């Protein structure tokens, strides 16, 4: 099978596993995952998706995420949108629905929207939007960042006299042109992606991003800052200013589409949108950032006057927020003035510690969340770049979208800055990227002080993130994914052959054959044979005479090993792994001996109903390869401890 045919097959099977093309609202991708917004979660067959050759795993969060790995994910996602006749991120149209089908689809959409509304918060939505804007840019960040790091090392070595400028400057210039294709126009790329996230026209979003570059402004007659009267400077307002402006663009476009006649919409809407938002960006957003910057300069000067470790901590901790607002540009004249007057800038090495804090935080995330494949892949790609002093991949792709790690990374930067401030006299003879390349520019042989500060920033970012900055939801997601992927919570063990074992009813209710379960994984007996009870009581008892072998972290499933070697899983409810254990109270612990009269758990059936989860208590034999036969029964009312099935070993 050719690669093209393989990609087509994977794309088609992903649509099938996601409930069909009509059930997929939109498709995007990141470094390793095809990300889909689905219309009805109940139509998604995750096990079917996991079984697709080439699929490495499935995560069902706010988006359905199918992991196919870097290098292939972009091809699969593109093939999927090509099959649907749309572009990445665009809504896939649904075929005409009638009657009951239309009502059910509308109900499913309303239910999903209400569910998302209940769980979402403004901060979570903001961080999710930031992630969706910058994650697609990670490959470009990494590639351009590595080139930028090489350029930084070579430039600094030329400046310090370790390399001959006549020999190396031409190569440095060529490499700089290549890497500037990303970093010089980052505002434009951000505008395009932000428009896709917020629902605006992508190319118009790119124009709004380009506005802050002030292309074409006459330096002799600059645009004035309305707040201070000073001249505006390119990139004032920074990336966050672009994101805010594009968000305003999306709101304006949506309103214009409603009021402007279709016949002239393509002319009127983009013209008015670009004009109004562009003016707001130039005369409000950028000047506001300039106003903030002027006051920030006063604060920086005060901190510098205080001096010592305190100054180093404050400056090292606050530099990353300044970068995000585009305010770091105001420090350039300060660096130049320091170098002119004293031969070096004491400020640059301190500010460079912010990148060190990011590196330490990323390493801590990698250690604690190493089973999160996508995050690990991002960190592996962004770390070398971050060590070389290019911080955007780590900021926008890793720490900022996760929230707390960004704060702990800033603290790490502050610790590194405090060390350099305490040592004192650590300056750079020229302005350049931070990270390791800056070592070559440290004046007066105090490179050792810079290295100590960098190591302190690494360590500070790592420690604070490791203990205080790991998002709890990411840890829970890993536990849930591991639990869902496990085919059996009990270890394999030899059976006692030529014997019989019994399975007992675990609660009061209607006992049914496993094939009647609403969960396709269980009803198709993918994990094994058994039975389930539609529970009328929340008291749950052991299904066998044996031992508690394992308890899932989310409490929704318990593994047992019978005295005769049968491995049995008790699964409480359907799709209840997402409830993070809230409706369940476990009454036993691993290693406990149990009988069918042992109360092993209590389930809040009301909570299950409110969460729209079926109250099926499923009992499944998971080592079927060693089982000869399992008896059958007709649906009936049962009570706890009642024998239901006979097993021949």
pLDDT (0 to 100) of residue 117 = 45
Give the number of C-alpha atoms closer than 13 A to the C-alpha of residue 604, restricted to the C-beta side: 14
Q: Which helix (H) or strand (E) holds 420?
A: helix 404-423
**pLDDT digits 0-9 by tens, 601-633:** 999 998 888 888 889 999 988 777 778 888 888
Q: Which is catalytic among the residues 30, 137, 438, 570?
A: 30
Give the number of C-alpha atoms closer than 13 A to the C-alpha of residue 508, restricted to the C-beta side: 6
Count of structural domains within the chain = 2
pLDDT (0 to 100) of residue 489 = 43
pLDDT (0 to 100) of residue 102 = 40
Residue 205 region by backbone torsions, left for phi larger than 0, else alpha for psi between -120 and 50, else beta: alpha
Residue 309 CA to residue 556 CA, distance in Å, equals: 51
Angle at 412 between CA 410 and CA 413, to 5 degrees: 65
**Bridge partners for 571 per DSSP:** 557, 618
- Single residue among 72, 94, 116 that ends a domain in this structure: 94
Domain that holds residue 624: 492-648
pLDDT (0 to 100) of residue 405 = 92
Tell me if 428 sits within 8 A of 155, measured CB to CB: no
Among 508, 481, 514, which Cα is nearest to 622's? 514
DSSP state string for 73-118? HHHHHHHHHHHHTS-TTSPPPPPP--HHHHHHHHHHHHHHHHHHHH
**pLDDT digits 0-9 by tens, 342-363:** 777 888 899 999 999 999 999 9
Is residue 437 in some structural domain?
A: no
Residue 217 CA to residue 222 CA, distance in Å, equals: 6
CATH code of 66's domain: 3.30.1360.60
pLDDT (0 to 100) of residue 406 = 92
Is residue 626 in some structural domain?
A: yes
pLDDT (0 to 100) of residue 509 = 94
Is residue 547 in some structural domain?
A: yes
Mean pLDDT per block of 10 residues along the chain (649 residues) reads 72 91 85 80 88 81 76 81 84 60 41 45 67 71 70 81 86 89 85 88 92 88 80 78 90 90 87 94 83 60 72 87 63 61 80 92 90 75 82 78 89 94 84 77 86 95 93 66 45 58 93 84 74 94 92 82 88 80 90 92 90 89 80 88 87
Is residue 502 in some structural domain?
A: yes
CATH code of 561's domain: 2.70.70.10
Is residue 83 in some structural domain?
A: yes
Is residue 196 in some structural domain?
A: no
- Single residue among 41, 73, 94 that ends a domain in this structure: 94
Are β-strands 500-504 and 64-67 bridged in parallel, bridged antiparallel, or unpaired? unpaired
- Single residue among 67, 94, 121 that ends a domain in this structure: 94
**Bridge partners for 59 per DSSP:** 65
Give yes or no: 30 in active site.
yes
Is residue 567 in some structural domain?
A: yes
Is residue 39 in some structural domain?
A: yes
pLDDT (0 to 100) of residue 584 = 92
Burial (CB count <10 Å: 0-12, 13-18, 19+), residue 374: buried
């Amino acid at each position: 099978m050719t690669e093209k045919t393989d990609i087509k097959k994977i794309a088609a099977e992903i649509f099938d596993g996601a409930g069909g093309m009509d059930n997929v609202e939109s498709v995007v991708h990141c470094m390793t995952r095809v990300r889909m917004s689905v219309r009805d979660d109940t139509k998604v067959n995750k096990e079917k998706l996991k079984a697709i050759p080439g699929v490495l795993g499935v995560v069902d969060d706010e988006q359905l995420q199918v992991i196919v790995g870097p290098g292939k994910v972009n091809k699969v996602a593109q093939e999927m949108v090509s099959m649907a006749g749309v572009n990445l991120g665009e809504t896939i149209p649904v075929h005409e629905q009638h009657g009951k089908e239309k009502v059910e689809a509308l109900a499913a959409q309303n239910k999903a929207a209400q569910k998302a509304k209940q769980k979402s918060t403004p901060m979570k939505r903001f961080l999710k939007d930031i992630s969706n804007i910058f994650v697609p840019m990670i490959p470009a960040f990494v590639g351009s960042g590595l080139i930028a790091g090489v350029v930084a090392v070579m430039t600094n070595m030329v400046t310090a006299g370790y390399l001959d400028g006549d020999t190396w400057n031409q190569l440095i210039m060529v490499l700089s042109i290549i890497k500037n294709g990303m970093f010089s126009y980052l505002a434009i790329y951000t505008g395009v992606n932000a428009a896709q996230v917020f629902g605006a026209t992508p190319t118009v979003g790119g124009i709004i991003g380009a506005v802050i570059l002030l292309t074409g402004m006459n330096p002799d007659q600059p645009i004035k800052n309305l707040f201070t009267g000073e001249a505006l400077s390119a990139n004032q307002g920074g990336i966050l200013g672009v994101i805010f402006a594009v968000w305003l663009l999306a709101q304006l476009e949506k309103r214009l589409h409603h009021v402007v006649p279709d016949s002239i919409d393509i002319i009127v809407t983009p013209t008015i949108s670009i004009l109004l938002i562009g003016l707001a960006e130039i005369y409000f957003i950028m000047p506001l950032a300039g106003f903030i910057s002027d006051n920030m300069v006063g604060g920086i000067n005060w901190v510098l006057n205080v001096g010592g470790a305190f100054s180093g901590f404050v400056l090292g901790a606050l530099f990353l927020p300044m970068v995000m607002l585009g305010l770091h540009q105001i420090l350039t004249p300060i660096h130049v003035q320091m170098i002119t007057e004293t031969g070096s800038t004491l400020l640059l090495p301190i500010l460079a510690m912010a990148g060190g804090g990011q590196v330490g935080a990323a390493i801590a995330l990698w250690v604690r969340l190493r089973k999160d494949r996508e995050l690990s892949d991002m960190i592996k790609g962004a770390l070398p770049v971050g060590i070389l002093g290019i911080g955007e991949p780590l900021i926008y792709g890793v720490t900022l979208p996760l929230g707390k790690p960004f704060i702990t990374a800033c603290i790490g930067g502050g610790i590194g800055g405090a060390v350099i401030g305490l040592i004192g006299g650590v300056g750079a003879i020229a302005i350049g990227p931070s990270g390791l390349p800056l070592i070559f520019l440290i004046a007066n042989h105090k490179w050792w002080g810079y290295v100590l500060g960098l190591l302190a920033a690494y360590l500070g970012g790592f420690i604070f993130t490791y203990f205080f900055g790991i998002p709890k939801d990411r840890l829970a997601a890993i536990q849930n994914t591991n639990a869902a992927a496990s085919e059996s919570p009990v270890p394999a063990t030899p059976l006692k052959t030529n014997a019989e074992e019994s399975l007992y009813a675990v609660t009061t209710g209607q006992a049914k054959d496993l094939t009647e379960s609403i969960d396709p994984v269980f009803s198709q007996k993918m994990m094994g044979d058994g039975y389930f009870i539609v529970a009328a009581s929340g008291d749950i008892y052991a299904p066998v005479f044996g031992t508690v072998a394992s308890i899932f972290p989310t409490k929704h499933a318990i593994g047992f090993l019978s005295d005769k070697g049968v491995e049995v899983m008790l699964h409480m409810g359907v799709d209840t792994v997402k409830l993070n254990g809230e409706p369940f109270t476990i009454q036993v612990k691993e290693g406990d001996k149990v009988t069918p009269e042992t109360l092993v758990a209590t389930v809040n059936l009301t909570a299950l109903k409110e969460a729209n989860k079926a109250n099926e208590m499923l009992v499944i034999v998971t080592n079927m390869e060693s089982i000869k036969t399992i008896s059958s029964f007709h649906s009936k009312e049962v009570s706890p401890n009642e024998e239901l099935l006979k097993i021949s070993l």
